[in-house]
Every structure is written in C-alpha cells, then in structure tokens.
Chains A and B, each alone.
Chain A
C-alpha cells in the first residue's frame, strides 16, 4: 500500500511540471505586450518599460522565466495584479469560497446520484428507471448556464426561496442554490454509472452465492451489491471534485459567487497574466491532488489493487 501511494505521488511530479510548462508557454505566447498596454494610448517611456521588463524578468529567455515562476510557486510569491494586490492574497480569499461550493455540490451529487442510481438499478426497466433515464438525459443535454438561469428564475425569483446572487461573505445558506446547479450538472453520470454497476453486480456469481448462503435481501444489497458498485462511482465523484472547482467559473459568474472561477474570468478579460497563470496553476494542483486522492481511495476500496502490485 505504501509503495502504491509512493508511486502515485511520484507520478504527480512530471505531470505537474509538464502542465505548468504548457500553461506558462501559452500565456507567454499570447499576442500583445502587456507592458506596452500599461502605457495606454500615450505609450511608455522606453527606460521605464525596460525597467519594468527587467523587474519581471521579461528580458530573460522563456525557460529562465519559467524557473522564476516555479520558484515563485514554491515560495508563495505568485506576483501581483495590475492594481498591486498580491495574487496569493486573492487566492487565499477566493479559494475557500469555491471549495465550500464544490464540497456542497459533491455531497448533493453523491447522495442524489447514488440513491437514484441504486433504485433505478434495482428496478431495472421499471417506471422509476425510465423516469430517471429521461431526467439524466435532460440534465446531460442542458448547458450549465441554462440550468443556472432556470434555477435562478424558479427558486429565487418565482418562489423566493433563495437569493438570486451570493453576497460578499458567501455564507453556506446562499451557496446551496449554486451548489445544486453545479451538482445537477454532473449528477447524471453518477446516476448512470451507479445504475449500470448495480445491475452488473446483481448478476454477479458472488451475489447468487450470497443468496444461497441464506443472507437477507437487504443485507445482500447493502454488503454485496452496493459496496462493490460504489468502487467505480466513488472514483467518478472524486474526479468530479476537480472538475467542479474548475468548472465553477460559469456558475460563479451567474450567481456572483466571490470564488476563484469568477475571479479568473475577470482576470482573463483584463489579460492579467500573473493572476491567470497563478489561478490556472492552482487548478492544476487541485486536479492532481484530487486525482491522487481518488487513486488512494480506489486502492482503499478495492483490495485487489491494495494487495496487488
């Protein structure tokens, strides 16, 4: 098990380096000169421009700049925005909000997805199964902004159960509606996967043997069907965590959640390179860590992997 985790951790390193190099290169290769843009229409004094360039190491070769950037990541110095705010400060303010949002969404996704999937799988081709299939299809085919506006309109404006937008503090109660939107954006896959693996496991030989052993039906479902079916589902939900952090951009925009997605979106509009690079880097790290956790969780759930190679 220790070896398994160590190998997974080691595998993260090259992926991290490759991904950050790529991001840095792409931002670097963007057309336009941010320094020149700083001067606006009047243009910048060449001496000032040079001073700024050398201060941000912009006069050095690409790969050297990349190493300065890596150094920054590991020392917590992520640069400053054009308005002079340290990027790390913005991250420290926005990341917890997005995390909170994603965690609420994951809980909703897991509970709703597994429950609906389990019932649909146990009553294959029944009325519930058919309705859940239609429901999942609608969810899958609906873009997230439609879902978000719809939720806003029905629950906030028509029914008045929630606020249309989230206030500055982003308290738990106000995040529930955007979290539902996020969860419903990804829940369809969980429903389908749970349903499929429940059906598969119901047919498994060991479930038949469990019946022959004289176990009660509820115990068979809980211990032998659900536990085995959850292995792929948990993996899917785990990877969704990364997806939700990253994918929160649109939802955060619509509900005005002061999270990373919203901030990144604004930074892209302003071509604020340090903010964009830092945020995307954080996304990469979040993604890598959540995938790492999924791998470890997977080994925890499936002894064949834990005790395998």
Chain B
C-alpha cells in the first residue's frame, strides 16, 4: 500500500510563477427567462507546479469555472466578463483555431465520468493515438502506436500493448479513468484540469488513481486544477483550496489552514457536514467546530458529530433488543451468460449472516460488486435467494406469500439511491407520498391527505409542496419525499440503499440527521446499504463489511473504526478522503 501523498504547504520548492490567473470571471447561461449567471466574479491564481482545488456543491459553478478555461462550456453558456490569463495569454480572446492549439497540448483535461467519456465505437489505442497525432507528439502509424502504449503504461494500465485493441466497454471504470488520465497527460501539458476525476469510482480505486496522478504531475511539474465536491479529498490532494458557493468564491487559502480555521459561515458548515471530516473528528475526539453557524437554509441543524455522539449514547441500551431482521447463510447465485450458449454461475451473495436488533441501524458497506445491494433486494423480497433464510420479526420470508407478504411489505419499506429516478415525474408530491396508502387501502381520501401532511412535517418539508411536482424540487427535497413515502405505512423496518449517496454534503448531513431523529422518534430499524464508510460512522450501530459477496468483518461501529481486524477494512478506512488530515491539532 502506498501512502496517500500528503502535501505540505511548506514544500514549495517547485512552485513558481503564476501559470493560470482567473480574474473576475463571469459566465451566464441563456435560458428562456434571459441570461442567468452561473459564475459571478470568480478570481483565482494557480502557480506553476501547484495543485489547487475548487470545492463546492452541485450548482456552485465550480465545473463551469474550470470548463471556461478551455471553453468546453455547453452551447447555452457564455463568458460574459473577466479574463483568464494562461502563461500570459488571455484565453477568452482566442479564436477556436487558436484554442485548439492550447487544448490537449498545453492544458490537459480529465473528465468526471469514465463511463461516458471514451467513444464506445473506437478502440482504446485509437483514441490515445489520435490525441498524440493531433498534438504533434507522434506521427500516424507505428510511432503513434508505440507512444500510445507508453502513455497507457505510464498511466498505470497493465498489459497496455494487448489492451490497445480493446474497446472501452471491456474496461472497468478504474481502467477507463487511467486511460483518460493518460490521454490528459499525454502531451505533458503545463496544466491539467481534473473535473471530479474519481467521483464515480470506489474509494480504494480512487485512492490508487489519485496517488498515481499526483506522482505523474509531480514528476513533470504539471499544475493541477482539481474540481471536487469532497472537502476532505480536496484538502488531502491540493495545496490551495477555493470554496465556491452559488457562483462566487466564498473563501480561499492554504488547505490545512482553511480546514482548521474556516472563516466564512458557509465553509464552516461545509467542514461540519463533510462525513469524512466529521468521522475524522470523532476519531481524534478533537474539538468540534465551535461557534459555527450550522443552521441550514431550511433551519435544520447539521452537526453530525453531535448526531453521532447522541447515537452512541443511545446505542448501549438498544443493542439488547430482540432482532427485527435475521439473515442466515444467505446465498444468491446468478446465471451469467458467457457469450456462447452456456451460462456460468456467479455467486453474488455468499452465505451471508447478520441480524439487526430492533430500533438499531446495521450498515452493509462494500465497494461496487460486493453484493450489498443484492442483499437489500433479497431482504425486501424483490428477488428470491438461492439458499439461506431471512427472518423478519420471527417469520421466514420464504414462507410469506399473498396477503401475508403484503402485510410484511407494509412493515418494511425501501428508500433508493437516485432521488431523480425513484419519483414518478407525473405524480405530484401528495400523490407520491399517498401512493402506498392507496395501494394498501389505508384510510379514506381525507385521512390519507391528513397523513401526507403529517409526513411532510416529519421530514421537515413545507406543506405547500403537496401539489408540486418532483421536477420543481431539489435533490435533497426529493430524497425527503422518498423517505416520507417510505414512512407512510408506519413501517418498523426501512431499507436504505445508498439513500444519501447522490446528495451534496450539506443536504446529506441534513438527511442523516433526519434519519437519526426519525429512528429515535418512531423506533425504526434501519438496514443501511452504502459504499461510504465515512457516512457509516455517523449513522450505524453495527457494521458488516462486504467483499465479493462475503462479509469479511462484522462488529459494532466503534470496533470497526477503532480496531479494524481485517486488512480489507483497514484499506477501506485508509481510503476515506482526508483520513490523514489532522484537524484542530
């Protein structure tokens, strides 16, 4: 295991003159209602050899700022003011032809989503070679091929020569991101713009790839403009941070300093809400950010440390409660078509056993492909296990059919990851939340309406939302609606499958706090499925770490975090962004 590359602010021997200077940048989007500003007077300076991270939530303008540098903005966006000086040239004044000479050659770009950023119909080799040829780094043919192999090898792709002839869909996400990093750095640019380069990847993969990226850019003295929503990750990877909020820079400065002593209220809230950092604070039991204004826009308190400590105090008495869900030797085997007329068995869940005491939270943690979501589907009886038993409140799920199954579903409700996909766009909020009530014929119209209003109140949403439609709501509001819908039938058990993963940190913190409140209020039992260990620390009583279908470690949350026994768990913990940052030291 390589250690994460920690950047010491004192270590500035390679850092030189300003390379990129953004001055008072204004970007606006053309909409039907006229020009809407997205970036409003942003200024920042990036020195040679330096890494600077822009941090912000979705819609903060961080990506728009970065894309303005090489004019990759979508058609409706326009730079309406300011200047972008790169190596002394104002990029905003360049023609498309002149920009073409800057892109790739002098400024490399690593995009966010490795799945959609390689052309699916061309071989990997072709896509690397054409970059080299376009930037005059190689001539077509053998030369380009040899150099492309070198680029891929340097990006850390094993057997690069054989893989040149493969197509993107034959690569995993991590491998594709290596290819994209290779392409971005192929012409040894002076500046690399990395737009959330690893947010689609598992934490352990993220760590390896970012370590590698840091090594490559350090070797070549390339400056990096790093865009991320994760404050912990930003602080770990960059010397300087720029925090953006609603199109403006709210705070900028050296990373560690900014994290330890945030000045702006928004930064304080962000520091308080970031799960990776909050979990860090718990680890070191250091002082929490005192005096910070932690009230969200809608007045919900978000101090995750307090939430978590509250939970810890409560945990002792509830762990003795009888099990609400008991899973014994659960196994699920899928038949995977192997291309020919045969199919191969694939064991997604391999004799998994755990139990959840009533009123507590058990988290299933694992990376993609670990089988955690399959367990959730089996527990919800959306899929049948190959073998093993699931007992809910003393009843074996396998024997539960018809009416009994319907009754069971009333008591066990799911909340899924995507707050955009899981709400029907044609149902208004009231109808969405009332749907389970109608399906199970609970109460008359009037009672259903009253229950909907009560639920909106429980999830801290204004009653006026009842007639609105999902597209009028923010991501956080939608996830609250999904939770309200899950609670409509007064369930005892809620299965949360990556329920907070798609949300911005502040919203995530609010939803986590809400889930905690609801649990103590309604004595709910949670099965919490997530890939994010940092979140687990804040919400779970017990943790099961899954890998390749098996539970590799199961213990109480504090045990897993303080004394992880398995090497895999240790790796996962070490990969939490910001794990190496000392706060309040």
Is B570 part of the binding interface, using a Cβ–Cβ cutoff of 8 Å?
A: no
* Inter-subunit contact B96/A304 (CB<8 Å): no
Contact assessment for A215 and B130 in the assembled complex, using a CB-CB cutoff below 8 Å: yes
What chain B residues lie within 8 Å of A308 (beta carbons)? 169, 339
The segment from A175-183, A200-208, A239-247, A282-290 found at the interface with B is A200-208
Instruction: Looking at the assembled complex, report how far the CB atom of A244 sits from the nearest CB atom of chain B, in whole angstroms.
Output: 27
Decide: B167 and A219 in contact? CB cutoff 8 A. no
Which of B32-40, B105-113, B444-452, B514-522 touches A?
Answer: B105-113
Tell me if B220 counts as interface (CB < 8 A to partner A).
no
B370 at interface (Cβ–Cβ under 8 A)? no
Q: How far is the CB of B126 from chain A (nearest CB, A)?
A: 9
> Does B183 contact A213, Cβ atoms closer than 8 Å?
yes
B102, B134, B180, B183 interface centre (most CB from chain A within 10 Å): B134
Pairwise interchain contact B103-A307, C-beta atoms closer than 8 A:
no
Contact pick for B72, options A211, A215, A217, A309, CB 8 Å: A211
Which of A205, A215, A217, A223 sits near B117, CB closer than 8 Å?
A205
Assess whether B100 is interfacial by the CB under 8 Å rule. yes
Q: In the docked arrangement, what's the CA distance between A48 and B120, Å?
A: 68
Residue B131 at the chain A interface, CB threshold 8 Å: yes
- Provide the bound-state CA to CA distance between A217 and B97, in Å: 9
Chain B residues with CB below 8 A from A301, complex form: 121
Q: Are B167 and A216 in contact (CB under 8 A)?
A: no
Name A's B-contacting residues (CB within 8 A).
Answer: 3, 203-206, 208-217, 219, 223-224, 227-228, 231, 301-304, 307-309
CA distance A211 to B100 in the complex (A): 8
Q: Is B170 an interface residue (CB 8 A)?
A: yes
Question: Does residue B436 face the partner (Cβ distance < 8 Å to A)?
Answer: no
Q: Determine the distance from Cα of A304 to Cα of B109 in the docked complex, in whole angstroms.
A: 26
Residues of B within 8 A of A304 (CB): 120, 167, 169
> B13 contacts the other chain (Cβ, under 8 Å)?
no
Nearest A-chain residue to B339, judged by Cβ: A309
CB contact list, B121-145 vs A, under 8 A: 121-123, 130-131, 134-135
A265 to chain B, nearest CB (A): 42
**Known contacts A215-B130, A304-B169; is-contact A206 B118 (Cβ 8 Å):** yes
Tell me which residues from 172 to 190 in chain B have a Cβ below 8 Å from any Cβ of chain A: 180, 183-184, 187
A223 to B72, CA, bound (A): 19
Q: Is B187 a contact partner of A209 (Cβ separation < 8 A)?
A: no
Q: Decide if B31 is an interface residue (CB 8 Å cutoff).
A: no
Q: Chain B residues near A205 (CB, 8 Å)?
A: 111, 113, 116-117
Would you call B100 and A214 a contact (CB within 8 A)?
yes
CB-CB under 8 A for A217 and B96, given A3-B339, A205-B113, A212-B109:
yes
Note all chain B residues with C-beta closer than 8 A to A216: 100, 134
Chain A residues within 8 Å of B135, by CB: 213-214
Q: Does chain A have a CB within 8 A of B386? A: no
Least CB separation from A209: chain B residue: B117
Contact residues on B (Cβ < 8 Å of other chain), bracket: 35 or more
Cα A3 to Cα B342 in complex, Å, equals: 12
Q: Which residue of B lies closest to A201 (CB)?
A: B119
Known: A231-B121, A301-B121, A307-B167. A213 touches B130 (CB 8 A): yes
Measured CB to CB, the residues of B under 8 A from A are 70, 72, 74, 96, 100-105, 108-109, 111, 113, 116-123, 130-131, 134-135, 167, 169-170, 180, 183-184, 187, 337, 339-341
A303 and B103 contacting across the interface, CB-CB below 8 Å:
no
Complex Cα gap A107–B48 (Å): 56
Which residues on B sit within 8 Å (CB–CB) of A302?
A: 120-121
Do A227 and B167 have beta carbons less than 8 Å apart? Answer: no
Distance of B336 from chain A, by nearest CB (Å) = 10
Task: Report the minimal beta-carbon distance from A172 to chain B, rounded to whole angstroms.
Answer: 35
Q: Is A208 a contact partner of B72 (Cβ separation < 8 A)?
A: yes
A211–B75 CA distance with the chains assembled, in angstroms: 14
CA distance A203 to B73 in the complex (A): 11
11 additional A-B pairs beyond A208-B117, A304-B169, A308-B169, beta carbons within 8 Å, are A206-B116, A206-B118, A209-B109, A209-B118, A214-B134, A215-B134, A223-B122, A231-B121, A301-B121, A302-B121, A303-B121
CA gap between A309 and B342 in the complex, in Å? 11
Residue contacts A-B, CB under 8 angstroms, 6 given: A208-B111, A209-B118, A211-B72, A214-B101, A304-B169, A307-B169
* Cβ-neighbour of B340 out of A3, A203, A223, A307 (below 8 A): A3
Complex alpha-carbon distance, A171 and B140, angstroms: 45
Q: Which B residues touch A209, using CB under 8 A?
A: 109, 111, 117-118, 180, 183
Enumerate chain B residues within 8 angstroms of A219, measured Cβ to Cβ.
130, 134
Residues from chain B with Cβ under 8 Å of A3 in the complex: 339-341
Measured CB to CB, the closest approach of chain A to B182, in angstroms, equals 11
Smallest CB gap from A207: residue in B: B119
In the assembly, what is the distance between CA of A308 and CA of B183, in Å? 26
Shortest beta-carbon contacts, A-B, top 9: A214-B104, A212-B109, A205-B116, A303-B167, A214-B103, A206-B119, A213-B131, A209-B117, A213-B104
Contacts of B118 in A (CB 8 A): 206, 209
What A residues does B170 contact at CB under 8 A? Answer: 307
Bound complex: CA A217 to CA B131 (Å):
13
Q: Which residues on the A side are within 8 Å of B117 (C-beta)?
A: 205-206, 208-209
CA distance A205 to B114 in the complex (A): 10
Report the Cα distance A231→B135, complex, angstroms.
Answer: 29
Which of A206, A213, A228 is close to B134, meaning CB atoms less than 8 Å apart?
A213
Distance (whole angstroms) from the CB of B138 to the closest CB of chain A: 13
